[in-house]
Amino acid sequence: MSIVAIVGRPNVGKSTLFNRLIQRREAIVDSVSGVTRDRHYGKSDWNGKEFTLIDTGGYVIGSDDEFEEEIDKQVELAIEEADVIIFMVDVETGITGMDEDVANLLRKAKKPVFLAVNKVDNSKRAGDAVEFYNLGLGEIYTIASTNGSGTGDLLDAVIEKIPDTQEEDDEELPRFAVVGRPNAGKSSFINALIGQDRFVVTDIAGTTRDSIDTKYNRFGFDFKLVDTAGIRRKSKVKEDLEFYSVMRSIRAIEHADVCLLVLDATRGFDGQVQNIFWLAQRNRKGVVILVNKWDLVEKDNHSTKEFERMIRKECEPFTDVPIIFISALTKQRIFKAIETAVEVYKNRSKRIPTSKLNDILLPIIENRPPPAYKGKYVKIKFITQLPTKQPQFAFFCNLPQYVKEPYKRFLENQLREHFDFHGVPIDVYMRKK
Ligand code: GDP
Ligand code: GDP
């Protein structure tokens, strides 16, 4: 999945555009604690091409210098990590010194840059917008984020730079991505697994490297590791490690079948971990939670249970997830981690025969049919698993629109109870029959 970043100084209208392009509830916010800045990630698509959209920055409180420094950082990050950059400027204010600085950075970048002149709400402003040709970034796209005018042309141009959805890998090997916050122990885990220290620090600025799949055979299993954890670029912007790690996670998750979410037992399941978990779930990937550094935790008889309960609470409503307590340091249970990931992979590719599905579920549904809605009775007649890569089920009935979330959850739970979908998000659809 390609990453499109919106950069520009504050107040030009970046978040207005961002909100217009994504489905709001699907955005995640990365609030960097102690820093007055929010970053937003979301999914968008245009003409059938999906991409991840990043609004690289909100506001900075401080002097102009601090301002400038912050914006430079955003732009550097975007240049390094995004595939396409939308540089937004504001026709109301015209070209500012900061715009010029940003343009200077972007001109040197070897990434496609689109200059969006925002707040062009009327024809007079359309005339004013030509001033921005002076930034030397080529074509300008005049838009109004508030009403969406001009954004179609901009997106047409943007998606032309986005490659078509990646071709499917023909080899049917499980693809595992090791994801998690910085310092959770991802590299240590991979090293423990692979048994050698392969990770080199690279210091090549300005190159985006996609995740690379490497084939492994360990503990009798064949699998591919979607390797992004190992890429340790020495960033010029150290404090943005977290941001990098989220971007990496996005890529790695999208390339994987199963995500091994590594968390640091001494830090727990915090907001950042939750974001990564959400990304995996949103992308319908299998998930195994690895509670790492378990060697550091003082344990009694209840520790594991307690910890597990706490994590499941954070995972709601998708709680049917394996949780394994490991230590990359002592190699405790790292075999179990891979074994479980393989199981989750199998669960995700599982196909339930239609007859079995109906034989087991129809009697249960008969016993507890969907509640009547507006005096109408819903009758579920037939169930089938859709021929998709991850588990999706269609329940055919007379009045699909009357089946509400709680009942769908009931159906999902029944599916989970009778067929093992441990670690796998599943979709339940009601269809008209
Ligand atoms: P950001 O700081 O770059 O993310 O900017 P915002 O999206 O928060 O927008 C800053 C201000 O500009 C808000 O008051 C918006 O309502 C306003 N704004 C954004 N887009 C447009 C537009 O197309 N036309 C006009 N007139 N105002 C806009
Ligand atoms: P990454 O950023 O997620 O790849 O994390 P690293 O693998 O670089 O680990 C971060 C730090 O945690 C390093 O100092 C590791 O030695 C340490 N670490 C990783 N796993 C464990 C573990 O299981 N137990 C302990 N005690 N330390 C660990």
| Residues 317, 420 within the same domain | no
Q: Which of 289, 288, 246, 291 lies closest to 264, judged by CA?
A: 291
Query: What ipTM did this prediction achieve?
Result: 0.66
The CA distance from 399 to 391, in Å, is 23
Q: Which of 387, 369, 365, 386 lies closest to 378, judged by CA?
A: 369
| Residues 359, 315 within the same domain | no
Q: Is 69 part of any domain? A: yes
> For ligand 2, is residue 296 a contact (CB within 6 Å)?
yes
Helix (H, G, I), strand (E, B) or coil at 24: helix
Residue 132 is part of which domain span? 2-161
Q: Is 194 part of any domain? A: yes
> Which amino acid belongs to residue 112?
P
| Residues 83, 157 within the same domain | yes
> For ligand 2, is residue 295 a contact (CB within 6 Å)?
yes
Annotated binding-site residue numbers for GTP: 8-15, 55-59, 118-121, 180-187, 227-231, 292-295
Which atom of ligand 2 lies nearest, measured to the CA of 327? 23
| Residues 120, 267 within the same domain | no
Q: Mark which of 328, 349, 370 sits at the end of a domain.
A: 349
Q: Is 169 part of any domain? A: no
| Residues 9, 141 within the same domain | yes
Ligand 1 environment, Cβ below 6 A: 8, 10-16, 118-119, 121, 144-146
Ligand closest to the CA atom of residue 262: 2
Q: Are 146 and 107 in contact (CB under 8 A)?
A: no
Number of domains in the chain: 3
Bridge partners for 373 per DSSP: 376
Q: Is 167 part of any domain? A: no
Protein residue closest via CA to atom 25 of ligand 1: 119
Backbone angles phi, psi at 216, to 5 degrees: -135, 155
Backbone angles phi, psi at 282, to 5 degrees: -60, -35
Q: Which two tokens stand for residue 98?
A: 């900061």
**pLDDT by residue, tens only, the chain of 433 residues:** 788 999 998 889 998 898 888 865 455 544 443 333 456 777 788 887 888 888 876 555 556 676 677 777 778 877 877 889 999 999 999 999 989 999 999 998 889 999 999 999 998 999 999 999 999 999 999 999 999 999 999 999 999 998 765 545 546 788 999 988 888 998 888 888 876 544 433 333 333 344 556 677 777 778 888 766 544 444 444 555 566 666 767 778 888 999 999 999 999 898 888 888 988 998 899 999 999 999 999 888 788 999 999 999 999 999 999 999 999 999 999 989 999 999 999 999 999 999 999 999 999 999 999 999 888 999 999 999 999 889 999 999 999 999 999 999 999 999 999 999 999 999 999 999 8
Which atom of ligand 2 lies nearest, measured to the CA of 191? 7
> Is the bond preceding residue 317 a cis peptide, omega within 30 degrees?
yes
The CA distance from 323 to 334, in Å, is 12
| Residues 25, 44 within the same domain | yes
Q: Is 170 part of any domain? A: no
Kind of pairing, strands 113-118 and 140-142? Answer: parallel
| Residues 192, 333 within the same domain | yes
The CA distance from 115 to 136, in Å, is 10
The CA distance from 30 to 39, in Å, is 5
| Residues 252, 120 within the same domain | no
User: How many residues comprise the chain?
Assistant: 433
Of 7, 14, 15, 16, which is best to mutate to test ligand 1, by the most ligand atoms within 8 angstroms of its C-beta?
Answer: 16
Q: Is 32 part of any domain? A: yes
The CATH number of the domain holding residue 113 is: 3.40.50.300
Q: Mark which of 349, 372, 406 sits at the end of a domain.
A: 349
Ligand closest to the CA atom of residue 125: 1
Q: Mark which of 161, 189, 207 sits at the end of a domain.
A: 161
| Residues 114, 223 within the same domain | no
| Residues 132, 267 within the same domain | no
